[in-house]
Amino acid sequence: MNTDHVIRTFVEYFEDRGHRRITGSTLLPPTGDPVLFTTSGMHPLTPYLEGRPHPLGRRLVNVQRCLRTTDLEEIGDSTHLTVFEMLGTWSLGDYEGPLSLDWGYGLLTDGFGIDPGLLHATVFGGDDRIGPDTASSELWQERGVPVELTVEDNWWDNGPTGPCGPDSEIFIWTGATPPESTPTGDDRWVEVWNHVMMRHRRLDDGSLVPLPQRNVDTGLGLERLAAVLQGRTSVFDCDLFDPWRRLVPALWELDEPSLRLVCDHLRSAMVVIGDGVRPANTGRGYVLRRLVRRVLTVLWRDDPSRGLGDLPDELILHTLDHFRQEMDTDDVRRSLIEEERRFSRLLERGRQVLARPRFRGPLDDEDFHYLHDTHGLPRDLVLSLRPE
Ligand code: SER
């Protein structure tokens, strides 16, 4: 089952259960939102979880592209991507958590054909403020799905303040042997679907107050689910990466971790550009700049003649197409190449400046300030050019 089919199956299953599909899914949060990028499916829905009526009603379904820089250092493992898509459903003060979990169980087993014996759930076990989520545990018991209780891992929030609540996460066993242990005890249990009982708001002073309505917010990682359904052990092996796996190694010889980083960051950079962002020294543009420069650092480590101008059009087209972005492939390519030129000039200047006698010995904070303020050379870059 390819990812398009997964998306269709998901959306139709929830449409059949009274959900309306939200369209549009840019990475850019609405004006006034302090966060740089949309980090989860629920993010654009925050005002509606807090009680504002949604124009499409109280049952919603969506496919939301998300970007998480918190996971940047984890890129290269089997489950993390910088830009990924979340299949989401919401009950805005309508049905409750157990029904959401039951539908989730039905879709995974009947809809996607996953063996129920390969499922494990985790549930909020309670802390000194909020009691254990017994309704979720009971539902899982009725369905014969084993449950692990945790505290921090089963509490969802999107920052220090705002809507939050206990959650129940669904894991799928990806090991080659029969399932063993529990989700916190064995990372072959891969989390795919999080159901959050979004009923509280955390205030500035850390206290919790009830939201005006009892919501359910769920998010299912598309690429993780697709990989599992396709019998692959990593998100980089699901069908979305087929053209990348075919074309990138033919262009540049890279070991597996570098290949994953290059594919993840380039694909993410294309999507960010496709949503209208351009490289810059601050904000969203800086995230984009970091993605492109991390790719170039990997590529040039082995061969400084490598360049983004060699990227096949097919990769840009495939990405824009998948994310339903209208931008011209030439505009995306131009943006990447301009950033490559800027980075290359900066590196050249860095090498010249660092060759001066003053910088031959160990560098102190004053040197780093001077290199940054006078020559535009950030500390990381200086260190990469001049490993201590
Ligand atoms: N908010 C939850 C998450 O991001 C479910 O959408 O995992």
Where residue 32 falls among pLDDT bands split at 50, 70, 90? confident
> Which one-letter DSSP state was computed for residue 29?
P
Residue whose CA is at the smallest distance from ligand 1 atom 3: 219
> What is the CATH number for 113?
3.30.930.10
Residue whose CA is at the smallest distance from ligand 1 atom 6: 219
Q: What is the pLDDT of residue 222?
A: 96
> Which one-letter DSSP state was computed for residue 38?
-
Report how far residue 286's alpha carbon sits from residue 292's, in angstroms, rounded to the nearest whole number.
Answer: 10
Question: Does position 255 have pLDDT exceeding 90, yes or no?
Answer: yes
Print the domain residue range for 142.
3-235
Q: Is 40 in the pocket of ligand 1 (CB under 6 A)?
A: yes
- State the distance from the centre of ligand 1 to the C-alpha of 40, rounded, in angstroms: 6
What does the buried/exposed string (b/e) look like for 229-265 if buried means 16 or more CB atoms within 10 Å of the residue's CB? beebebbbbbbbbebbeebbeeebebeeebbbbbbbb
Instruction: Say if residue 40 is in the same domain as residue 158.
Output: yes
CA 46 from chain center: how many Å? 18
Q: Which residue has the tokens 């109280």?
A: 58
Of 213, 235, 257, which closes a domain?
235
Q: Is 41 in the pocket of ligand 1 (CB under 6 A)?
A: yes
CB 213: neighbour CB atoms within 10 A? 16
Question: Does position 12 have pLDDT exceeding 90, yes or no?
Answer: yes
Residue whose CA is at the smallest distance from ligand 1 atom 4: 40
Q: Is 166 in the pocket of ligand 1 (CB under 6 A)?
A: no
- State the distance from the centre of ligand 1 to the C-alpha of 225, rounded, in angstroms: 15
Instruction: Say if residue 305 is in the same domain as residue 369.
Output: yes
Question: Does position 29 have pLDDT exceeding 80, yes or no?
Answer: yes
Question: Contact at 8 Å (CB) between 60 and 20?
Answer: yes
Where residue 360 falls among pLDDT bands split at 50, 70, 90? confident
Question: Does position 41 have pLDDT exceeding 90, yes or no?
Answer: no
Q: What is the pLDDT of residue 24?
A: 77
Instruction: Say if residue 243 is in the same domain as residue 365.
Output: yes
Of 210, 235, 260, which closes a domain?
235
Q: What is the pLDDT of residue 42?
A: 86
Average pLDDT, the chain: 94
Instruction: Say if residue 154 is in the same domain as residue 204.
Output: yes
Mean pLDDT, residues 222-251 taken together: 96
Mean pLDDT, residues 245-266 taken together: 96
- State the distance from the centre of ligand 1 to the C-alpha of 156, rounded, in angstroms: 7
Mean pLDDT, residues 79-85 taken together: 93
Instruction: Say if residue 247 is in the same domain as residue 325.
Output: yes
Instruction: Say if residue 258 is in the same domain as residue 366.
Output: yes
CB 207: neighbour CB atoms within 10 A? 10
Instruction: Say if residue 29 is in the same domain as residue 144.
Output: yes
Q: Provide DSSP, 29-69.
A: PPTT--SSS--STTGGGHHHHTTPPPTT-SEEEEEEEEE-S
Instruction: Say if residue 196 is in the same domain as residue 288.
Output: no
Question: Contact at 8 Å (CB) between 103 and 216?
Answer: no
Q: Which residue has the tokens 């010995």?
A: 361
Q: What is the pLDDT of residue 34?
A: 80
Residue whose CA is at the smallest distance from ligand 1 atom 1: 42
Of 235, 260, 278, which closes a domain?
235
Instruction: Say if residue 213 is in the same domain as residue 254.
Output: no
Q: Choose the weakest-confidence range: 20-24, 211-215, 274-278.
A: 20-24
Q: Choose the weakest-confidence range: 63-67, 197-201, 258-262, 357-361.
A: 357-361
Question: Does position 229 have pLDDT exceeding 70, yes or no?
Answer: yes
pTM of the entire structure?
0.90
Instruction: Say if residue 35 is in the same domain as residue 171.
Output: yes
How many domains, in total, are found in the chain?
2
Beta bridge partners of 120: 171
Mean pLDDT, residues 350-371 taken together: 92
Instruction: Say if residue 263 is in the same domain as residue 205.
Output: no
Report the amino acid identity of residue 109. Answer: T
Report how far residue 238's alpha carbon sits from residue 232's, in angstroms, rounded to the nearest whole number.
Answer: 7
Mean pLDDT, residues 145-172 taken together: 95
The predicted-structure confidence for 161-183, as pLDDT tens digits, reads as follows 999 999 999 999 999 999 999 99
Beta bridge partners of 149: 123
Where residue 380 falls among pLDDT bands split at 50, 70, 90? confident
Q: Is 217 in the pocket of ligand 1 (CB under 6 A)?
A: yes
Mean pLDDT, residues 109-130 taken together: 97
> Which one-letter DSSP state was computed for residue 19?
P
Report how far residue 135's alpha carbon sits from residue 167's, in angstroms, rounded to the nearest whole number.
Answer: 11
Q: What is the pLDDT of residue 381?
A: 81
Beta bridge partners of 196: 167, 217
Instruction: Say if residue 207 is in the same domain as residue 255.
Output: no
Mean pLDDT, residues 345-351 taken together: 92
Q: What is the pLDDT of residue 388?
A: 53
- In the chain, % of residues over pLDDT 70: 99
Question: Contact at 8 Å (CB) between 78 and 38?
Answer: no
Specify whether the backbone of 19 is left (phi greater than 0), alpha (psi in -120 to 50) or beta: beta
- State the distance from the centre of ligand 1 to the C-alpha of 110, rounded, in angstroms: 23
